[in-house]
Amino acid sequence: MRDLTTGNEGKLILAFTIPMLIGNVFQQLYNIVDSIIIGRYLGNEALAAVGASFPLIFTLISLIIGIATGTTIIIAQYYGAKNIGKVQQAIETMYLFIFVASIFLSLIGIYTSTAIFKLIDLPEEVIPEAVKYFNIYALGFVFFFGFQGTSAILRGLGDSKTPLYFLIVATMMNIMLDLLFVVVFEWGIEGVAYATIISQAGAFISIIYYLNRFHKVIRFNMLRLRFNREIFFKSIKIGLPTGFQQTFVAVGMLALYKVVNMFGTTVIAAYAVAMRIDSFAALPAMNFSAALSSFVGQNIGAKKLERVRSGMLATLRMTSLISLGVTIVAWIFAEQIMQVFTTDQAVVEAGKDYLYIVSAFYILFSAMFVMNGVLRGAGDTLIPMFITIFALWVIRIPASWFLAQHFGPKGIWWGIPVAWGIGAVFSYIYYRTGRWRTKSVVKQQNS
């Protein structure tokens, strides 16, 4: 556990981010390796099927992850205030919630997957593979939520290193199982899904065993967990806007796929690969933002508001430099990066167009995430939700659809940075109002 309320702000945030970033790099390797093996051994239709499954998975898990994020913020603020009893109650409440929710979402997802893929006009030849992959993946939601929830709890307590070690092992297991199930056993797309859920199960079970043996605060015993209604409703108040925000983003991704699907399997496959690369490139901004949220949460809990602005500025400087470096790499090596995933030159060319356009604006994406990291850490999640929904549904999707009518797939790609720019500007304007300073859970409790 790490106290983020004393010491140099930039150094603390960087030290906290690095293990988390490395861990998420390995986590993204789940998806990267899946895509490489699928593209190389199973072809464009399977690649398109996995790509189309991602926004559906994201849609189902977003609301739950948002509420869990609210609990993480509460944990950070209670820990900053040194109220360990409340920290333990929040942890137990989170575990009970995410396990019940994961079972419910698995059933809903499996029941509706075919209808949803038809609704977004996924090509008929791709739907059977997409359904196979998604339905197996959904069986592992309980392990996915369990590991992600445990990692979020540890981050709220200032520990970003412990999840990293287990994630590295799980990722290496996933790579080996991918090769075994797809290349050796020839199980096809089902093998990729089984490899992922087995790896997630291993990560969750092993980290719980470790924490029960060695951690000072976290003790997991399913039969002894207690549900705290007060903390749960506080979690909903903070986390529901984030959950709705992520859900609207996920549904927006499905809507955007409906536009992409107009251009056939080649463009769908290129978009699936480009999204994997995009997710990888976005990791620094997302992890710095998560670290900043924990930093802000603890410092607001400790009533040290003067450290929040310093932490934000330090984070902006670091993410801007990293974004510039990632953009340069994407421009120079766009073709080689795409060729790692597929030998189909038409898919490579379409993916290159995406990378040339979108990567130029990663700095806007980073700025938007940093601002939202401050707001989330303070417990102010409602306005960021409205900003995100506006940028996506009023700007990105209409702009992508309109530009696609005139410029083809390139028009879809241009709608993405336009939305990022609008989101960054509005987030900064709201940050400048200072209203987020009044949203502290600990302050509300003490008043």
pLDDT in tens, 241-259: 777 777 887 788 888 888 9
Q: CA-CA distance, 403 to 272, in Å (whole number)?
A: 20
Q: CA-CA distance, 87 to 123, in Å (whole number)?
A: 48
Contact between 61 and 152 (Cβ < 8 Å): no
pLDDT at 442: 60
pLDDT at 367: 93
pLDDT at 167: 83
DSSP notation for 164-205: HHHHHHHHHHHHHHHIIIIIIS--THHHHHHHHHHHHHHHHH
pLDDT at 103: 93
Q: CA-CA distance, 419 to 406, in Å (whole number)?
A: 19
pLDDT at 446: 42
How far out from the chain centre does Cα 132 lie? 23
- List the structure tokens of 79: 């820990």
Please choose, from the candidates 93, 144, 78, 85, the residue with its C-alpha nearest in 3D space to the C-alpha of residue 294: 78
pTM of the predicted model as reported, rounded to 2 decimal places: 0.72
pLDDT at 320: 94
Model confidence pLDDT, tens digit, residues 21-80:
887 777 677 677 778 888 888 888 888 888 888 888 888 887 787 777 777 778 877 887
pLDDT at 345: 92
Q: Which residues of 356-379 are buried (b: 16+ CB within 10 A; e: fewer)?
A: ebbbebbbbbbbbbbbbbbbbbbb
Contact between 386 and 443 (Cβ < 8 Å): no
Point out the residues of the chain with pLDDT beneath 50. Answer: 443-447
